[in-house]
Structure 1
């Protein structure tokens, strides 16, 4: 059927016969190992040392991360120092590694008072003394936050934890054992005063009136106008009420000097009598004493107590009643008097984003950053479920508001035009016009501190967060959430360090948060001890998310050079080589174990026979940053060598052998090799590091051989050049799949391959003065394919290339000649 077109211009798109092949990357590296922090078993791209430090942290202490577990940070640093720019890092951790966690708290308003420490408490104490229990009981099962505003921790009671005590100002000069009698005393001022000055030791006192004083009475002598800074108790032996001045004789002399007009009071058992006993020894220190009484019934602040143990008596004034709380565990920190114990309930769990000890150095401080500050626009009675505000803009369903500072409520619905707000529950008290209304949004300040100095090295701040899932600033959406089902962090979220779990319910969601108290996450652990060869090798899974260790490198196809810096176990190295064989286009650099001598290095090299691995010896020497200045340590060289590969690829091309190149960022080599040792190691394809500083040529890698017995693939650059060509053709010819398998397709394929190999030849990677000498491309019917191949969907191309081999041996022949001789 003919197709009829209206007059006009018609443009047809004709497919181009030129389908260029782009060269594959040759310098994208992959490394596996332990890091301070960062994603686990997830290839993560970093492009410079700073980005590595931000994502994965710094160096690992070799005394903790032993047996090569500290190698990855050094390898990554060496890669970037030597010219690398694209590195995929796979961090591994122990099988029982955990992330740090902290519960963000709301204040339990059912406990009205906030007890404070009556005395300081020390690290390791299992008891604290508070001014009053503040409504707490031994049955309180929720957490108590102990904080002085800077240091904090959660504490819990240990069973029947409360003991009432009294604080005696000035202490007791004598020691009173348990069961000593304690009696409340009445102090009755007398009209009499001293009429003369009396020195220490005086036994006869002159007073203006002895009325009301009898033998055996106890008197309190204190300073004028009731000043108690110069007071003592005395016992009367006799009185003399003769002519003025009248006198009293004491049982024993004064211990203090008292001046004229000092006041006297009588001391006697209270009426009605209040008496109890000590249940623990007390006194004898002269300092403020805390005494445990069998009963505190009838005991109050300011009372005078008499302590008696046989003939020994002493008096003390109650400064205050206190409570001793026995804790379930020892205190982790020191606290001064006045530190607060806040009854708290958990509302959010704050998780370190990744497992490891690093999370224990995360410090989180909650603050108040309300979106709305307004007032009540019309009076509302107790029980009302609607209120009118001066402005309701900024409130949302789920917002929590504080009304008048005395009650909180949850918003169910908002009309921002009229200011009418519907509450989830009725008001607990009436709200007057003009009462302040403040929304309950909060902030989180997240700080990461340095392990050595304790200084803050990274911080994040999130403000105006809400606990309501309907709120546009819901904390889990803004910061990021922790998936409790998979026990993994969400990929989305603004924080680079933490993730949140919402534990609040309808009751706790509206409670006021505990703000202004910096608290550290805890419980993070790398589980270094279980990181063995099996963890490095990892596990394979059909699901990419199930892969770990070396196997996780399969998740990133761009990688073409790989290493496991520091881990020189033969099992791990063979697994890395197997990975390269499986992935086809990858090449591995491995190390001889540190400390190996020449024979041990030779023996280790003989364990490999693969065209996708190069072995290097000896180790590198760098400064030991964890010990004293000037100390040195040995590290493996594979990470630095990947950097040399990348530098050579970028500056010269993959066809240039990565040898006779300076290794940057090191102090020397673990073993000083000479030409004699290299003559032994080079024939077995073990690549040597050589020190040429005496020749002004620095520290160099001086070998470029593959650890194989196949002579065709002797050199690293030849092997990697062919891998580069193979990978480029693999990806560059994907367009041909399912195209008609006939002459037009064959011509296009040949043209694409020829153009690509021509570029490779012109870059100097192939031998020959002409293209025909450098490579050939054959394709066609009865050339590379038979009809059976075409019927079975196969397109076969034969390619031959002549790679340039390195001038490994430079031979100069010298002969003598006479002046007349010609060449």
Structure 2
């Protein structure tokens, strides 16, 4: 019944039909560390090397001992990505050089806290970025500090909250055996996790340092983050970063034996234990090598593939954000059809891009009994499958003597 009396004509606009769903950003790095300058404990968007200058120049002696300038250089060497920087270094109270009377940066500064006034610092500041910028970081790094188990644990926990991947470095100076041992309870490093949100990296990489005109070691995490961003932009987030060449790398901390057909090579042994490493063979350059998160080998589900986990995140988060326009509308057949139509249109788009093999959103009345509908609760099913990477290619070879019959013009 009309809400008011009208003797005349009116037009009532009815919004029906599916709504477009916007894909969430994936090539976004959350970087926490120290810089000689720039905002302190304030999430700051950096889009280019020019923007990065506010946090210091790697050629400037004042950048020595700081992690953010090096990490930004590593990321932007790959030419793509958005970086949300959280600098925890306050020059008035902190030191990275042991300056007397000041506090050295510790794991607690990187992890951060919530102040009495409600302000977040360190890693915790990255929880504010959706409200600030409309997107979250999807690759979390803290180069130089992620080798600490306490920081590793917090990076993984935050990755779960943000539907991100935490890129974790092994400490410098360890052997291949120590890296593999670190996956178990008797290991002495920060690799004892089965999180599908963790990407474990070994070894450190060598890069040219213009400040010292010499090589220096740096954690792999920043280069891998930059490589993943570049892969997302150039090929798509459904591509694995494995077998993609690092930029700006002149060597590895220690040589890793790598042959594509040798299961006993060190690169393969590291991958077998859920560790991403570097592949360098004749004429290949230095490549990221490894498709799987730390969930492997504990979890055999395809979600242990880095690209499958990230593709699922994109689908889930994009759909969730798009549902805001449907929240609190009257539950009826039109609403159900609109939601299904919107999600299925998005899934078809992802299939067309190559991000999914197939998928569908359906409504099952058995999962939506009157008691749940009366509570305002709708349930939909989403089934989908991203493409898995061609990690292993096998050939079955046969020596067939019958082929000798073709000699001499035989048929």
- TM category (shorter chain) comes to 0.7 to 0.9
Q: Give, in angstroms, the shift of residue 84 of structure 1.
A: 2.5
Q: How does 1:359-378 map to 2 (within 5 A)?
A: none
1:702 corresponds, among 289, 308, 320, to 289
- Return the structure number with greater strand share: 1
**SS at 1:745's partner residue?**
helix
Q: Does 1:779 align with 2:368?
A: no
Counterpart residue number, 1:552: 125
Q: Does 1:29 align with 2:23?
A: no
Q: Give, in angstroms, the shift of residue 93 of structure 1.
A: 1.7
Q: Does 1:808 align with 2:377?
A: no
* Preserved CA contact (<8 Å) 1:75 1:637: no
**SS at 1:588's partner residue?**
strand
Q: Could you say what the CA RMSD is over the residues aligned between the two structures, in angstroms?
A: 2.6
2:196 corresponds, among 611, 634, 645, to 611
* Preserved CA contact (<8 Å) 2:35 2:63: no
* Preserved CA contact (<8 Å) 1:36 1:59: no
**SS at 1:572's partner residue?**
helix
Q: How does 1:348-427 map to 2 (within 5 A)?
A: none
Change (3 A) 1:527 1:81: farther
Q: Does 1:3 align with 2:2?
A: no
2:347 corresponds, among 757, 760, 770, to 757
**SS at 2:201's partner residue?**
strand
Q: How does 1:612-691 map to 2 (within 5 A)?
A: 612-627=197-212, 629=213, 631-675=214-258, 676-691=265-280
Q: Distance in 1 between matches of 2:238 and 2:380?
A: 23
Counterpart residue number, 1:564: 142
* Preserved CA contact (<8 Å) 1:644 1:661: yes
> Where has structure 1 moved over 6 Å in runs of 4 or more?
60-64, 525-528
**SS at 2:365's partner residue?**
coil
1:84 corresponds, among 73, 80, 85, to 80
1:788 corresponds, among 350, 368, 371, to 371
Q: Distance in 2 between matches of 1:556 and 1:528?
A: 30
Q: Give, in angstroms, the shift of residue 684 of structure 1.
A: 1.1
Q: Does 1:594 align with 2:172?
A: yes
Q: Distance in 1 between matches of 2:148 and 2:257?
A: 27
* Preserved CA contact (<8 Å) 2:18 2:339: no
Unaligned ranges ≥5, structure 1: 100-354, 358-524, 768-773
* Preserved CA contact (<8 Å) 1:71 1:636: no
* Preserved CA contact (<8 Å) 2:95 2:104: no
Counterpart residue number, 2:187: none
2:92 corresponds, among 94, 98, 113, to 98
Q: Distance in 1 between matches of 2:79 and 2:159?
A: 23
Q: Give, in angstroms, the shift of residue 571 of structure 1.
A: 1.1
* Preserved CA contact (<8 Å) 1:690 1:699: yes
Q: Distance in 2 between matches of 1:657 and 1:526?
A: 47
Q: Does 1:57 align with 2:56?
A: yes
Change (3 A) 1:578 1:793: same
Q: Give, in angstroms, the shift of residue 698 of structure 1.
A: 1.1
* Preserved CA contact (<8 Å) 1:31 1:72: yes
> What is the CA deviation profile of residues 161-219 of structure 1, one whole-angstrom value per residue up to 9, with x for unaligned ones?
xxxxxxxxxxxxxxxxxxxxxxxxxxxxxxxxxxxxxxxxxxxxxxxxxxxxxxxxxxx
Q: Distance in 2 between matches of 1:617 and 1:758?
A: 38
Q: Distance in 2 between matches of 1:714 and 1:781?
A: 32
**SS at 1:711's partner residue?**
coil
Change (3 A) 1:687 1:356: closer
Change (3 A) 1:660 1:647: same
> What is the CA deviation profile of residues 488-543 of structure 1, one whole-angstrom value per residue up to 9, with x for unaligned ones?
xxxxxxxxxxxxxxxxxxxxxxxxxxxxxxxxxxxxx8987421011111103586
Q: Does 1:715 align with 2:305?
A: yes
| TM-score, L = length of structure 2 | 0.85
**SS at 2:350's partner residue?**
helix
The structure with the larger Rg is 1
**SS at 2:182's partner residue?**
helix
Q: Does 1:73 align with 2:69?
A: yes
Change (3 A) 1:98 1:542: closer
Q: Distance in 2 between matches of 1:42 and 1:705?
A: 32
* Preserved CA contact (<8 Å) 1:24 1:728: yes
Q: Does 1:729 align with 2:324?
A: no
Q: Give, in angstroms, the shift of residue 604 of structure 1.
A: 3.1
Q: Give, in angstroms, the shift of residue 49 of structure 1.
A: 0.8
* Preserved CA contact (<8 Å) 1:31 1:89: yes
Question: What is the number of residues matched between the two proteins?
Answer: 378
Change (3 A) 1:590 1:23: same
Q: Give, in angstroms, the shift of residue 710 of structure 1.
A: 2.0
Q: Distance in 1 between matches of 2:139 and 2:361?
A: 28
Counterpart residue number, 1:745: 335
Change (3 A) 1:528 1:681: farther
